[in-house]
Amino acid sequence: MISTAVANLNDAVMGRTAPSVHPPSLSLFPAPYRVVDRRVETADVVTISLEPEEGRPPAFQPGQFNMVTAFGIGESAISISSAPGAVGPIEHTVRAVGPVTHALTTRPVGALVGVRGPFGSDWQMSDLAPHVLIVAGGIGLAPLRGVVRTLLSRPMAGDDRLLVLVGARSPDQLLFRAEFDQWRRAGAYVAPTVDVGAPGWDGRVDVVTSLLPTTPFDPARTVALVCGPEVMIRFTARALMDGGVPASRIRVSLERNMQCALGWCGHCQLGPLLLCRDGPVVDYSGVVAELLRERER
């Protein structure tokens, strides 16, 4: 088993073969990318725009992630927050919660970082439904921003709807808040809510699931895309199912300790799944729902 893995690793490093999953992403070595822009989103979240030193960024799909290296410190799995096919640099929205992400959020324009990827499954943009319901909490909106931008760049058919529900701790923690009006003008229904209000905030103060009863979607014609803290995902999935959306049409993005990102090291295992390879986007089917209720031992 180990020898097979080592052989695969050697082959991969030498570029001789590709594993059965995600052959385009078979990369153990980060490519140098330059920070060409950085935009402070909230007190601890920064969007960095990256361009490769050579060539163009590899193609990706919304929901996939890259392993981004802060040289000398470490590597972290970061969702891609830009839309595929967009002109310009690739964007990653990073929340500073540890040494690597802190370093990435403070890298100045012109600095080099490492990027390998893209990795993992995506939101399956080719298999949506007339009503696309996005439910995002906190930094969870980052991997869904590409979905929003992609859908809004396409002509919407008669009854197509894009509904974006966003939860955050407080108004100043709402991610991409400056883009909400732009999304609304393009046809999306956008409803933010916060846990704790603040002076000047006249929007909703409540949990994100409280928005569901008044959100204009038809459960029978909806695909729900959910990303946020795992507890929020559980509560949201339950509320969606109570509202008539079947588990098979609820897709969630899960986070674990991604290390190799190639499905070899096992750090990101969730039951039978290796989330770097089989995720991060998975259907909220029986096995996932059960696994999310499991307590760590």
Partner 1 sequence: MRSVQLADVVARHPLLAGLPSDAVASVAGCARMVAVAPGRLLLAEGDPADTFYLLRRGHVAIEAHDPGHGTMVIETVGPSQVVGWSWMIPPYRWRFDARAIDAVGAVAIDGLCLRTKAEADPALGYALLQRVTTILLDRLQAARIRLLDLYGRGQPQ
114 vs 197 by CB, closer to partner 1:
197
- Residue choice 106, 124, 182, 210 for contact with partner 1 (CB under 8 A): 210
- Residue choice 85, 88, 187, 203 for contact with partner 1 (CB under 8 A): 203
Q: Does 77 bind partner 1 (CB under 8 A)?
A: yes
Q: Does 244 bind partner 1 (CB under 8 A)?
A: no
Q: Does 189 bind partner 1 (CB under 8 A)?
A: no
Q: Does 138 bind partner 1 (CB under 8 A)?
A: yes
Segment contacting partner 1 by CB under 8 A, of 29-37, 85-93, 113-121, 188-196: 188-196
CB atoms within 10 A of CB 189: 17
The two structure tokens encoding residue 90: 């690739």
CB 10 within 8 A of CB 3: no
Q: Among all chains, which residue has been given the structure tokens 């097979």?
A: 4
> Residue 194 Cβ, how far from partner 1 at the closest point, in Å?
9
Q: Does 195 bind partner 1 (CB under 8 A)?
A: yes
Q: Does 141 bind partner 1 (CB under 8 A)?
A: no
- Residue choice 4, 214, 216, 295 for contact with partner 1 (CB under 8 A): 214
- Per DSSP, 165 falls in state E
The region that residue 123 occupies, defined by phi over 0 for left and psi between -120 and 50 for alpha, beta otherwise, is alpha
- Residue choice 48, 50, 139, 254 for contact with partner 1 (CB under 8 A): 139
Q: Does 255 bind partner 1 (CB under 8 A)?
A: yes
21 phi, psi to nearest 5 deg: -110, 140
> Residue 28 Cβ, how far from partner 1 at the closest point, in Å?
19
The H or E element containing residue 38 is strand 31-42
Q: Which of residues 159-178 bind partner 1 (CB under 8 A)?
A: 167-169, 173
| CA proximity to 232, closest of 216, 252, 217, 246 | 252
Q: Does 202 bind partner 1 (CB under 8 A)?
A: yes
Q: Which residues contact 193 (CB under 8 A, 6 or more apart)?
A: 165, 166, 167, 168, 203, 204, 205, 206, 207, 208, 210, 211
193 vs 253 by CB, closer to partner 1:
193
| CA proximity to 191, closest of 154, 137, 264, 236 | 137
Q: Does 276 bind partner 1 (CB under 8 A)?
A: no
* Amino acid in position 218: D
Q: Does 93 bind partner 1 (CB under 8 A)?
A: no
Q: Count of residues binding partner 1 (CB under 8 A)?
A: 38
240 phi, psi to nearest 5 deg: -65, -45
Binding mask 3-42 for partner 1 (x = CB under 8 A): ----------------------------------------
Segment contacting partner 1 by CB under 8 A, of 27-35, 74-82, 122-130, 265-273: 74-82
The DSSP bridge pattern shows strands 250-253 and 281-283 to be antiparallel
Q: Where are the alpha helices (DSSP H) in the chain?
A: 2-14, 99-106, 142-152, 180-185, 230-242, 286-293
List interacting residues with partner 1 (CB under 8 A): 76-78, 95, 97-98, 100-101, 137-139, 167-169, 173, 193, 195-197, 199, 201-207, 209-210, 213-214, 228-229, 231-232, 235, 255, 257
